[in-house]
Copies of this chain bind each other. A is one copy, B any other.
Amino acid sequence: MPHFIVIGHDAPTDADFSLDDLPGVGRLDLLARCVNAGLLLSHGLRADTMVSLVMQDTATVRFHGGEIGGLNPDERSIAGVIRTALQRLDGRGSLPTGVSTKTDGLEPLLQAVDGHLFMLDEDGDPFDGARVDGDATFVLSDHREFTARETSLLEEYGAESVSLGPEPLHADHAITVAHNRLDTAGAT
């Protein structure tokens, strides 16, 4: 099962925001596109995939492809689902189906990794989907670089630094390409 962990350095940790300016809400536009890229196929869902958004290392919102049932692909709809999940962290409302939350950051996610652990980095070794013979967790950073602490934590947990090509890709584009490498290698 592919699991994409996206680190949102400026991402919101509470639900007190408008959906009219997603870039202004800690680049929630980008995080929403990462959920789209991780879970959506044309007219279908990637039921075997999870996407975890780590919000400022204090909250995690996880989308379970196999449980979510349906998801509109546009940024505003996905951001609305994230907002509903964050409301639940505040004790309000209920969680959307197929979404879970934790008041945790990156490290507990890394502790739970079973299988390959990759960090996507422009300077990493070329990623070959055919090498993945089981579960794979990919950690990506949002519009910022990984911090020194994140890099050292990832190294501590044995993350392999991999690149998807010569051009620096947005996190959501990187998820799309990683999925495609796994698809074409028949690894998923």
Are the CB atoms of B170 and A183 closer together than 8 Å?
A: no
Near B by CB (< 8 A), chain A positions 15-67 give: 20, 22-23, 29-30, 33, 36-37, 40-44, 46
**In the complex, which residues of chain B have a beta carbon less than 8 angstroms from the beta carbon of A173?**
37, 176, 180
A74 part of interface (Cβ distance < 8 Å): yes
Tell me which of A44, A46, A173 has the highest count of chain B C-beta atoms within 10 A of its own C-beta: A173
Cα A7 to Cα B36 in complex, Å, equals: 21
Cα A28 to Cα B143 in complex, Å, equals: 24
Near B by CB (< 8 A), chain A positions 153-167 give: 164-167
Q: How many residues of A contact B (CB 8 A)?
A: 37
**In the complex, which residues of chain B have a beta carbon less than 8 angstroms from the beta carbon of A33?**
33, 36
Are the CB atoms of B168 and A180 closer together than 8 Å?
A: no
Are the CB atoms of A29 and B74 closer together than 8 Å?
A: yes
Near B by CB (< 8 A), chain A positions 66-103 give: 72-77
Q: Residue of B at shortest CB range from A28?
A: B74
**In the complex, which residues of chain B have a beta carbon less than 8 angstroms from the beta carbon of A30?**
73-74
Are the CB atoms of A44 and B168 closer together than 8 Å?
A: yes
Besides A165-B180, A166-B183, A167-B180, 17 other A-B contacts (C-beta < 8 A): A20-B76, A22-B74, A23-B72, A23-B73, A23-B77, A29-B75, A30-B74, A42-B170, A43-B143, A76-B76, A169-B176, A169-B180, A173-B176, A173-B180, A176-B176, A177-B177, A177-B180
